[in-house]
């Protein structure tokens, strides 16, 4: 299985900050990488696919980049509704696998 490693596992930030989360794959996955946001007690929400394509309705404050084995999710102008756990997900390998998550907390 392709292992997905996210860093950091948690971070504290203030409203208005810009944060970056990193996801590394144990082998090259081209750009077949998605990002999800999950709030406590809720289902994940799809944010990005193909490393950098925003899902319908996702604001442009979210951006993704990367290819191969290293990827980043950047959230600009952090707002209270953005505090959540973020997961990366590779969908080229079989089985598809997920990162362990990065919890973004309010400082």
Partner 1 sequence: QVQLQESGRGLVKPSETLSLTCTVSGGSIYNNYWTWIRQPAGKGLEWIGRIISSGNSNSNPSLRSRVSMSVDTSNNQFSLKLSSVTAADTAVYYCARELYDTDYYLYIESWGQGTLVTVSS
Q: What gap in Å lies between CA 86 and CA 21, rounded to an integer?
A: 8
Minimal distance in Å, beta carbon 14 to partner 1? 26
Q: Which residues bind partner 1 (CB under 8 A)?
A: 32, 34, 36, 42-46, 49-50, 53, 55, 87, 89, 91-92, 94-101
Cα Rg, the chain, nearest whole Å: 13
Nearer to partner 1, 45 or 76 (CB): 45
**What's the rounded Cα separation, in Å, for the pair 93 and 103?**
25
Nearer to partner 1, 46 or 76 (CB): 46
Q: 24 vs 45, which CB is nearer to partner 1?
A: 45
Measured CA angle at 44 (ends 39, 105), to 5 deg: 30
């Amino acid at each position: 299985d392709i292992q997905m490693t996210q860093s950091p596992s948690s971070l504290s930030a203030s409203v208005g900050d810009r944060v970056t989360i990193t996801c590394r794959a144990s082998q090259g996955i081209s750009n077949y990488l998605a990002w999800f946001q999950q709030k406590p007690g809720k289902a994940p929400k799809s944010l990005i696919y193909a490393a950098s394509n925003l899902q319908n309705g996702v604001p442009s404050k979210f951006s993704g980049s990367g290819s191969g084995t290293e990827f980043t999710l950047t959230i600009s102008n952090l707002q209270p509704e953005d505090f959540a756990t973020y997961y990366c997900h590779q969908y080229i390998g079989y089985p598809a696998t997920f990162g362990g998550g990065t919890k973004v907390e309010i400082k």
